[in-house]
Structure 1
Amino acid sequence: MEITKLIIKKLTSKLSGAEEKEFDSWLHSSHENREIFDRITLIQKSGKDIRELETLDEITAWNKILQKVDTNKASRKRTLWTRPIFRYAAIFLGLLGFTFWYLFSPLQTQEKIMPPDKNAITLQLENGEVKVLSEDGSSQIKDKEGNLVVTKKGSNLAYSDSASVEKLVYNTLTVPYAKRFGIQLSDGTKIHLNSGSSIKYPVKFIKGANREVFLSGEAFFEVAEDAERPFMVSSDDLVVKVLGTTFNVKAYPEDQEINTVLVSGSVGLSNKDNQTTDSTLLEPGHMASWDKTSNTMAMEAVDTDLHTSWIYGRLILKRTPFEQIVPKLQRHYNISITNNYPILNDQVFTASYDIETIEEVMGSLSEIIPFYFEVDGNEITINKPKN
């Protein structure tokens, strides 16, 4: 209904000059129209009562609305209409239902946003609105003009280069422990975001601007080649700059180092505060480790599978110290581990896990190097082995 769109724009202060005249013409054309708009305005201010009215028949719902309007007007005689009410109430409730859906739907409201569960995958939009994402099903997010910005299919977001965005507009994807999520950026670059991570990125890359994203945590990148626009990943003090390549960046805030593993192509790494100097070039099959305290870089040859297996839900250990295994397990399984057997920290383990439960993983590790553990919900306590 055209008038519904005008009412929505009126309530959100978005009417053009011509639309304002059209709305005023409708508003003053009949007493009924004025009553309809007055009541929609009233209900908008206390939208919590709408859902109650939706469950009632038209006459009862309309009478309830009249009661709300007249609550503080004791001198006014209440009038319950009879024959005209069916047409009047039907028009009102139809307009009210659609208007309420628009004004209070998750895609439109910017107020009274309930904080999401800390274990939920969330997408924060440019306006601060937070969307909770499921790992299955499909959905769409559109901009204010109704243009498609992003499509969600399963555990992946896909952004369109045709989105009507003329300036840098950012979204932030946050993934909690024990979950992973994927993104395809507007240029075709694919990002796999690991558990306990978040990444801020443009909805659409703008011509003349660098392709830059901001990472906290761990992500694997498959960068679409663009010789004119380098792709940059910023994490704490480190900037990874590429043209087209596949690589993994691990930059959890609690870690001492930022690790970049190059699978193919080439990347340059530099200090965020000193990008004018020559960057350190990394070769495929190598890892660069940036020490946050000393601001130094070290490089070594590595088995890239050890650092990228998480993309496929696998956890591969190869002579890995237990002290480094603990945070991997905590992120992978969303658990907390308390180690009261410190001698275990320097012990190294070689193993591979896929679909095992945390109890099975801990049991397997304790067979390699004996230790005692107890599981209480999401809490695991490690002690020295019992005699």
Structure 2
Amino acid sequence: MDKDRIAYLCKQYLDGIASREELLELEGNFRNPVMEDLVKAVLFEVYAEFSENNYPDLDARISEDIFSRISSQVSSKPTIRLWLRIAVAVAAVTVIVFSIWIFNNQDGNRVKSERIAANNDVAPGKQGATLTLGNGKKILIKDISSGNIASQSGVKIIKSKNGQVIYQVTDKTPVVLEYNTLSTTKGEQTQVRLPDGSLVYLNAASSLKYPTSFSSLKERRVTLKGEGYFEIAKDKAHPFIVTTNKQETEVLGTHFNVNAYDDESSITTILIEGMVKVSSKKGVRILEPGQQSSVTDNTIQVAQGNIDEAVAWRKGYFRYTDEQLSVVMRQIARWYNVEIIYPQGIVPQVALNGKINMNRNISQVLRMLAKTKEVNFKVEGRKVYVLK
């Protein structure tokens, strides 16, 4: 039996339409030592496809333990009991990363949304950025080969093989202080290794302005628009300061994420490790690991944050915990470079929970969101219509 046949049988089972003969056929292959490994692999692959989620960080030992447990439960009991156990075992893994809208919708809504998305698909974003030098010259990072891409006062700028922009200081006493800006459009992400060794990840539709060398400066100050994840090199004598339009975040050496998109209701900063000081017109707050600040025109608040959710984009995921549909759709708009339209003029009030691989086409993402039964979508070119 080939992989396609096994995949078909798995899909029939997961769709809830497998006949008794098909269940027996699949069970027989699961019992077959020669076929067992293939069935295991295909079952996980097909289930991941149905749940719209991959498990790249799933420990292989966990999956082996699960399937060993399934194997130990196979007996002469009725087929339906075996498959109930298989379903429970697989669900034990997926419940870690998913909530209410994963799997059990088998109505016409899913078929309809699949048909729409299949005819109007949009590929996910990619690594890419534009580097603007101090003299105004612009360099499209994705269009140039790896290696040395520019030289400025006391600094050599390099593109690594994985697309990261790296600054190497060649002269610690630069004659002229210059500033560069690294920016991403919608549908792009990038990374930059700053002259002090700090690493910054930029999300879509974001920019970072920074000096080409910090050696003659008392502080390491950069300006962020959009969203960035920072891993700051330790230097107690030279604090690192991230400036946005409403706040400043000061650190000595730490990991943190700042979301400062203009279309969001607040600027959020979440601390992963170390300590940061967040300052705005409304006051100053010190964050400890796991805490998140939210800055608006009128307030600055600190609460316990969700680190996994806040930095999921850096690991290639959208991740939500009781997140409003409007917030989710703004993230999708930035990553897929699409326009979100609400034809009825009303944003559906839907709270979403889940984890979505950002490398999937938009059709797969929309199919998942449609499984809430609260919302549907129509895609026309790069316009996504959100339908109640």
Common topology (TM > 0.5): yes
The one of 355, 367, 370 aligned to 1:366: 370
1:157-181: CA deviation from partner (whole Å, max 9, x where unpaired): 1101224624431100010112110
Take 2:176 and 2:285, find their aligned partners in 1: how far apart are those partners?
Answer: 31
Which shifted more, 194-203 or 347-356? 347-356
1:247 is matched with which residue: 256, 266, 272? 256
SS at match of 2:169: coil
CA distance change for structure 1 residues 221 and 144 in 2, over 3 Å: closer, same or farther? closer
Q: What TM-score, normalized by structure 2, do the two folds share?
A: 0.63
Match of 1:143 among 141, 148, 151: 151
CA RMSD in angstroms comes to 2.1
- The count of aligned residue pairs is 259
1:382 aligns with 2:386: yes
For residues 227-246 of structure 1, the aligned pairs below 5 Å read 227-246=236-255
CA distance in 1, matches of 2:264, 2:363: 25
| 1:312 aligned onto 2:315 | yes
| Cα separation, partners in 2 of 1:232 and 1:135, compared to 1, 3 Å | farther
Conserved? CA contact 2:128–2:163, under 8 Å: no
- Give distance in 1, aligned partners of 2:341 and 2:241: 37
Q: Show CA shifts across 1:130-185 (max 9, x none).
A: 1111177403134368x752101132111012246244311000101121100001
For residue 227 of structure 1, give the secondary structure of its aligned residue in structure 2: coil
Residues 11-38 of structure 1, C-alpha deviations (whole Å, 9 max, x = no match):
xxxxxxxxxxxxxxxxxxxxxxxxxxxx
Q: 2 CA distance for matches of 1:376 and 1:261? A: 36
- 1:327 is paired with a residue whose SS is helix
User: Where do 1:116-131 residues align within 5 Å?
Assistant: 121-131=129-139
Q: Quick one: distance in 1 between partners of 2:210 and 2:193?
A: 11
Check whether the contact 1:190–1:223 (CA below 8 A) recurs between aligned residues.
yes
2-structure distance, mates of 1:369, 1:231: 46
Q: Which has the higher contact order (CA 8 A, sep 6+)?
A: 2
Note if contact 1:135-1:155 (Cα within 8 Å) is conserved in structure 2.
no
Q: Is the 8 A contact 2:348 2:374 kept in 1?
A: no
Between 1:160-169 and 1:173-182, the stretch displaced more is 160-169
Distance 1:341 1:285 in 2: 39
3-state SS in 1 of match to 2:229 = strand
**Matches of 1:227 and 1:156 in 2, distance apart?**
26
Give the superposition deviation at 1:249: 0.4
Cα offset for 1:285? 0.5
Among 181, 186, 190, the alignment partner of 2:195 is 186
Of 336, 351, 356, the residue aligned with 1:353 is 356
State the Cα distance separating 1:208 from its structure 2 match: 4.1
Alignment of 1:333-344 (within 5 A): 333-341=336-344, 344=347
Name which of 269, 282, 286 aligns with 1:281. 286
- 1:74-130 per-residue CA deviation (whole Å, 9 max, x = no partner) reads xxxxxxxxxxxxxxxxxxxxxxxxxxxxxxxxxxxxxxxxxxxxx972111001111
Distance 2:152 2:343 in 1: 54
Q: Offset at 1:209?
A: 2.3
Instruction: Tell me, yes or no, if the aligned pair for 1:166 and 1:206 is still in contact at 8 Å.
Output: no
Secondary structure, aligned partner of 1:160: strand
The aligned residue for residue 157 of structure 1 is 165
Structure 1 residue 326, shift from structure 2 partner: 1.2
Give the corresponding residue for 1:301. Answer: 304
Aligned to 2:51: none
Q: Deviations over 1:259-278 (max 9, x none)?
A: 1010000000112x68xxx7
Distance 2:144 2:248 in 1: 33
| Alpha-carbon distance between aligned partners in 1 of 2:156 and 2:185, rounded to the nearest angstrom | 24
In structure 2, what is the equivalent of residue 62 of structure 1? Answer: none
Amino acid aligned to 2:134? E
For residues 382 and 257 of structure 1, the distance between their equivalents in structure 2, rounded to whole angstroms, comes to 24
Equivalent position amino acid for 2:190 in 1: F
Q: CA deviation at 1:372?
A: 2.8
Determine what percentage of the aligned residue pairs are the same residue. Answer: 28
Which range is displaced more, 355-364 or 223-232?
355-364
Could you list the structure 1 runs, at least 4 aligned residues long, displaced by more than 4 angstroms after superposition: 341-344
Give 1:39's aligned residue: none
Instruction: Note the alpha carbon deviations across 1:241-269, whole angstroms, 9 max, x for none.
Output: 00000000011122221110100000001
Amino acid at match of 1:357: N
- Name the CA distance, whole Å, in 1 between partners of 2:381 and 2:144: 26
Contact 2:246 2:267 in 1 (8 A): no
| Aligned counterparts of 1:136 and 1:178: Cα–Cα separation in 2 | 18
Question: Structure 1 residues 138, 342: closer, same or farther in 2, change over 3 A?
Answer: same
Distance 2:258 2:132 in 1: 22
1:290-320 deviation line (CA, Å, top 9, x unaligned)? 01x31x1011112201000101211111111
Which residue number in structure 2 is paired with residue 257 of structure 1? Answer: 266
